[in-house]
Amino acid sequence: MSDRLLASEGTGFTPPGPSSFEPPPFFTVAGWAVDKVVVVIALSTVLIAAFFYLAARRAEAAGANGGLVPGKLQFAGESAYGFVRNGIGLETIGKEGLRFVPFLATLFFFIAVNNLFGIIPPFQLPGTSKIAIPLGLAVIVWVIYNYLGIKRQGLLGYFKNMMFPPGIPIPVYFLLAPIELLSNFIVRPVTLCLRLTLNMFAGHLVLVLFILGGEYLILEYGGIVGVLAGSVAILGSLVMTGFEAFIQLLQAYVFTLLAALYIGGALADEH
């Protein structure tokens, strides 16, 4: 990556930009370019599947009664699943949320691991920093909660409950109805998608800037000033990496929590 960014050597520093999210393809299969993003997404999927499969296999292999006392791996898997199950699914949707826990848990771990690849060498590129990934997930969430709302409340009832919730003075509806409509169909999915994408995008950009800037200052700019400033930048990148890990987990949580809230709202709007 660095050779690409430091294109014109000696002439100056090329700061990282959106192009640093377009890694060159490793190889091409039948016209499909397999680049780092694809590898990260595939690897996240495999890692999550493997982790949970091993954790669950331990529970199943131990027999009907043995799974009650979990081993370390099983405990880790159960805790991870239980976190989404109880902390997000049951907490925000209620008893009915149990139906959506598999979806929410997959959502959370898929996003979290893809995010975390932003700080895991040698990848250091969050799969979710490419807008296509959060967009796809946001569309799935959008389809699910609108489908549930219409199925539960009927097409008319869904729109009525959404745009004209009872117990509000009539003049307010002129303001509220379009806002709610806009919010439900456009703002929610767009913010869901952009919040995640841009957090990962900006986080990655900041990390790359710190690292490449530090490298440039030490190696190219040189001198006492360059080495000192560059060292500060490299140290800063370490701090930022820790901060990024936090942001990455937080964004996965926020995305999943909002998805659960939207689903819960569609199910509960029976006034």
Partner 1 sequence: MASFVSTAVAVLAVAEGEEPNPLVPHLSELIVGLVAFAILFLFLRAKVFPIFERVFAERTAAIEGGLAEAKREREEAHALLEQYREQLAEARTEAGRIRTEAQAERAAIVEEARNEARAEASRITEAATAQIASERQQVVAELRREVGGLAVDLAGRIVGESLEDEARQRRTVERFLDGLDSTPAGTAR
> Residues interacting with partner 1, by CB under 8 A?
12-15, 17-19, 21-22, 32-33, 37-38, 41-42, 44-45, 48-49, 52-53, 55-56, 59-60, 64-65, 67-68, 70, 74, 77-78, 81-82, 101-103, 105-107, 110, 127, 130-133, 135-137, 140, 197, 201, 221, 225, 229
Of 209 and 267, CB closest to partner 1: 209
At its nearest, how many Å lie between partner 1 and the CB of residue 260? Answer: 15
Of 66 and 157, CB closest to partner 1: 66
Position 124, amino acid: Q
In DSSP terms, 42 is beta-bridged to none
> Cα–Cα distance between 133 and 155 in angstroms, integer?
29
Q: Is the peptide bond before 166 cis (omega within 30 degrees of 0)?
A: no
Annotate 84-151 with DSSP letters as a single string.
HIIIIIIIII-GGGGGGHHHHHHHHHHHHHHHHTTTSTTT---GGGSTHHHHHHHHHHHHHHHHHHHH
At its nearest, how many Å lie between partner 1 and the CB of residue 119? Answer: 19
Half-sphere exposure of 127 (CA within 13 A, CB side): 23
> Cα–Cα distance between 1 and 264 in angstroms, integer?
43
At its nearest, how many Å lie between partner 1 and the CB of residue 64? Answer: 8
At its nearest, how many Å lie between partner 1 and the CB of residue 147? Answer: 16
Of 101 and 116, CB closest to partner 1: 101
Of 70 and 157, CB closest to partner 1: 70
At its nearest, how many Å lie between partner 1 and the CB of residue 180? Answer: 26
